[in-house]
Amino acid sequence: MTLTTWAGNYTYRAHRVLAPRTVEELQEVVAAAPRVRALGTRHCFNDLADGPGVLVSLEGLDPGFTIDEAARTVTVTGGTRYGTLARHLHAAGWAVHNLASLPHISVAGAVATATHGSGDRSRNLSTAVAALDLVGPDGELRHVARGDDGFAGSVVALGALGVAARVTLDVEPTFQVAQQVHVDLPWTAALDRFDDLTASADSVSLFTDWSGDTVQQVWRKSRVTDGHGVLRDDLFGARPADGPRHPLPGIDPVSCTPQLGEPGPWHERIPHFRLEFTPSNGDELQSEYLVPRAHAVAALAAVRELSSVVTPLLQVTEVRTVAADDLWLSTAYGDDRVGLHFTWKPLQPQVEAVLPALEAALAPFDARPHWGKLFADVDRDLARLYPRWDDFAALVARTDPDGVFRNDFVERHVLPR
């Protein structure tokens, strides 16, 4: 059986792929295998989820939605897609605080890699985790809840502590959102008024290819108050789009969520793409780097200087903000961050050749790469970017002393051999 990542750019080399139908079957699989890695929706661009032993797909597990209204939480199995969860929550009158641009990704995969949405006051998706039920190396379930020792190291854990059979998330009452797109924002305004720009809505994303004098699109999503979102005729020199837009120029926006300021349910506006559509414009590759908010403008200027090598390989870059958190391996640990997300053309050798120069340009700003996307990490110096790095390594050593959940990625970037 040949199994690849979502984009088809990486072929998994594990000799067996199993798809348990129940948590109990999952426990049996883990207990019987000397090496295990978990798969969600495979929306990954590197070997993070691969391994030399057994891969367990979580997609076959029933979501098992359990809403605790008193605790304001929902519990689902780890392979549940966020879009599926969102529809169920909204129908019951609830919501999660934020979503990523794609509703197709799994809860456990997004949580384990610190995947995020956008918003000055919105933390990444993993911060909504109230508890985890992890299948440990012996196949036993281990419950870890907020406030427990080591919890802050167990959420964004890259699959190194076990398989997330169930995830419990904080919820809040459902709400509506209005989305508006502006076009042709002058780069001078984007840099000079960056803080005002990202504060102009609950979620703001800038789309650019780094060429020319303007940022091509700005997507703004606002919670609706009294039936109205925060709509603007002018946005620091950008004008409202005259119709629905796709982030990529010339692509039919039919797969995108409704724009033009029309209010609608949170889960049908916060993601950029609709759940019922395949979001990709054919094959693509992705990278992302998160820099401290204080260095955002300087980092943007540094990447613009690389336009001659970046733009020819690029489909689009999305720039968005993420609020700080306290999860040890979160890319927003300790301070607010700005994400520079690169959607590349499917030219992996050329992209990988450019990444070291891009990372060198961002190195003065302590850029942290997204764990599930392409990055070079030439000097293997990620440890300096995470103050609790040694604590995480110690937690892995205690929890999985025999390395059942280790793989090349974990040993290459996190734990020395």
* Tens digit of each residue's pLDDT (9 = 90 or more) over 159-213: 999 999 999 999 999 999 999 999 999 999 999 999 999 999 999 999 999 999 9
264: left (phi over 0), alpha (psi -120 to 50) or beta: beta
Q: What's the pLDDT tens digit per position in 93-134?
A: 999 999 999 999 999 999 999 999 999 999 999 999 999 999
Q: Between 296 and 1, whose confidence is greater?
A: 296
Same domain membership, residue 362 and residue 232: yes
Residue 208 and residue 306: Cα distance in Å, rounded? 13
And the tokens for 171? Answer: 């919820």
pLDDT at 149 over 50: yes
Q: What is the 3-state secondary structure (H, E, C) of 106-119?
A: EHHHHHHCCCCCCC
pLDDT at 230 over 90: no
And the tokens for 127? Answer: 């911060």
Mean pLDDT of 3-30: 93
Q: What's the pLDDT tens digit per position in 279-337?
A: 655 589 999 999 999 999 999 999 999 999 999 999 999 999 999 999 999 999 999 99
Same domain membership, residue 201 and residue 113: no
CATH code: domain of residue 360: 3.30.70.2520
CB 78 within 8 A of CB 113: no
pLDDT at 381: 81
CB 320 within 8 A of CB 118: yes
Mean pLDDT of 18-43: 95
First to last CA, the chain: 30
Instruction: Give the amino acid at 361.
Output: A
pLDDT at 138: 97
CATH code: domain of residue 131: 3.30.465.10
Same domain membership, residue 227 and residue 139: no
Distant-in-sequence, close-in-space partners of 170: CB < 8 Å, separation ≥ 6: 72, 73, 96, 97, 128, 129, 130
Burial of 393 from C-beta contacts in 10 A (0-12 / 13-18 / 19+) = middle
Residue 393 and residue 409: Cα distance in Å, rounded? 14
Helix, strand, coil tally for the chain in percent (to 5): 25, 25, 45
Mean pLDDT of 138-155: 97
pLDDT at 268 over 60: yes
Residue 417's pLDDT band (boundaries 50, 70, 90)?
Answer: very low
pLDDT at 57: 95
Same domain membership, residue 272 and residue 229: yes
Same domain membership, residue 191 and residue 169: no
Q: Between 24 and 15, whose confidence is greater?
A: 24
Residue 138 and residue 143: Cα distance in Å, rounded? 14
Report the percent of the chain where pLDDT is more than 70.
Answer: 98
Quote the mean pLDDT of the chain: 95
Q: Judge whether 303 lies within some domain.
A: yes
CB atoms within 10 A of CB 296: 22
Same domain membership, residue 337 and residue 205: yes
CB 59 within 8 A of CB 104: no
Q: How many domains does the chain have?
A: 2
Same domain membership, residue 325 and residue 198: yes
pLDDT at 278: 72
Contacts for 396-401: CB closer than 8 Å, 24+ residues apart = 396/157, 396/160, 396/161, 399/136, 399/137, 399/161, 399/162, 400/136, 400/137, 400/160, 400/161, 400/162
Same domain membership, residue 194 and residue 308: yes
Range of the domain at 272: 176-369
Residue 234's pLDDT band (boundaries 50, 70, 90)?
Answer: very high
And the tokens for 275? Answer: 């759940």
pLDDT at 80 over 60: yes
Q: What's the pLDDT tens digit per position in 378-403?
A: 877 899 999 999 999 999 999 999 99
